[in-house]
Amino acid sequence: MGGLLCGGGPCAPWLFGGAMNGEMFLAWVWQGLVPTLYPGEVVILGNLSTQKIRGVREALAAAHTQLFIYRPIPRT
């Protein structure tokens, strides 16, 4: 299942059959996420390889959002 946590609660839910891959994630971004976004909103993605595929940044830029990639601090 994919989804988004918005200020008003969960939004843009999407149920996947099996593990999510980059192609499925990109489809969710264009079809599920982008239509729910407003210009200037902030999108924070994790450090998963499926979220780094070509097209994700472009889709979010087309929605006029700000993109941040969460990079965890390494433990010492």
> What is the per-residue pLDDT for 12?
66
The model's pTM is 0.76
Helix ranges, 1-76 (H): 22-28, 56-62
Q: Which residues contact 31 (CB under 8 A, 6 or more apart)?
A: 14
Higher pLDDT, 19 or 1: 19
Domain boundaries defined on the chain? 2-69
pLDDT (tens digit per residue) in 19-46: 778 898 898 889 888 998 889 988 888 8
